Amino acid sequence: MKLHAVVGYGRLGRALVPALRAAGEEVVIARRADGEAALADVVQRADWVWLTVPDDHIAATAAGLPWRDGQLALHCSGATPLAALAAAPAAAGFHPLKLLAGDAGLAGAHVGIEAAETHRPALQDLAHRLGLVPLALPSPMSAQARAAYHAAANLAASGVLAVLAEAGALWRAAGLAAGDALPALLPLTRGALDTAGARGLAGAVSGPVARGDAGVLARHLDALQSAGLPDDLMRALARRQLALAEAAGRLDATQVAALRTLLA
């Protein structure tokens, strides 16, 4: 069992601390509000020091801590390179791919682990004990690769909200009650995600693009224009759906050509 110091106690810290304790680990919370001396004492005693502060504060926080040999510094940021922890004797990344809304815990999610071989087995073991699925990230991971990884995660999370917002705008343009939009549309989103989990993305694609129905798609684009809404998002999404439908072998050459012409 290790002694863990958690520096920063926001949403992530409030999920991490009980999870570590439930896994049988000893945890102390280090707060600047307790004074610099108390913070330094907690950090110096710990084996692993978790920096769960906002991304922009990770490097400065790490630089200001009194490190000693043998310690491991960790951050849980998807976007921040490990270079931000350069002041520590050793560094690792432990990024749960989960939205921490409300009282949601960590269990069930994948966790991106970036670590040297010395620490990777212990971090993978901890992930399993926390109910997480370890996902090995390249080590070292370039800033460009980490940005792409984090962009993928963000697109899969909040990106879906942008699509639902666009759907809600069209819903209102149809003269339907705004308050009904999300309750009516969310089951469609959940159904698509569940099907993708079972069949893969190409196997789950549906709608006019998957059917090669250029006439219906043209009417969708006209509806956007009539409502005074930009059609860039729908066109971009339709192009990606077309690629999925082609990968699934759902369309013939004539249908693909008609859709590409419409979306050009």
| Percentage of residues in the chain having pLDDT higher than 70 | 98
pLDDT above 90: residue 1: no
Q: Report the alpha-carbon distance of residue 222 to residue 38 in Å, rounded.
A: 64
Element (H, E) at 127: helix 120-129
Q: Give me the pLDDT at residue 149, please.
A: 97
pLDDT of residue 103: 65
State how far the Cα of 185 lies from the Cα of 234, in Å rounded to an integer.
16
The CATH H-level superfamily of 3-141 is NAD(P)-binding Rossmann-like Domain (3.40.50.720)
* Paired tokens of 163: 């699509």
Tell me: the pLDDT tens digits for 162-187?
999 999 999 999 999 999 999 999 99
Q: Note whether 241 and 216 are within 8 A (CB).
A: no
Phi, psi of 122 (to 5 degrees): -65, -40
Is the separation of the CB atoms in 84 and 75 below 8 Å? yes
The predicted-structure confidence for 213-257, as pLDDT tens digits, reads as follows: 999 999 999 999 999 999 999 999 999 999 999 999 999 999 999
* Burial 93-120, CB ≥16 within 10 A → b, else e: bbbbbbebeeeebbeebebbbbbeeebb
Computed on alpha carbons and rounded to an integer, the radius of gyration of the chain in Å comes to 23
Angle between helices 253-263 and 214-226 (to 10 degrees): 10
Edge-first strand order for the sheet with 72-75 is 26-30, 3-7, 48-51, 72-75, 91-96, 110-114, 133-136
Quickly count: other Cβ atoms within 10 Å of residue 208's Cβ.
Answer: 17
- The whole-model pTM stands at 0.89
pLDDT tens digits along 43-74: 999 999 999 999 999 999 999 999 999 999 99
Q: What one-character-per-residue DSSP string does 194-232 give?
A: HHHHHH-HHHH--SHHHHT-HHHHHHHHHHHHHTT---H
* Confidence at residue 153, expressed as pLDDT on a 0 to 100 scale: 96
What tokens appear for 130 in the block? 């926390």
What's the number of CA atoms in the CB half-sphere (13 Å) around residue 176? 13
pLDDT at 257: 97
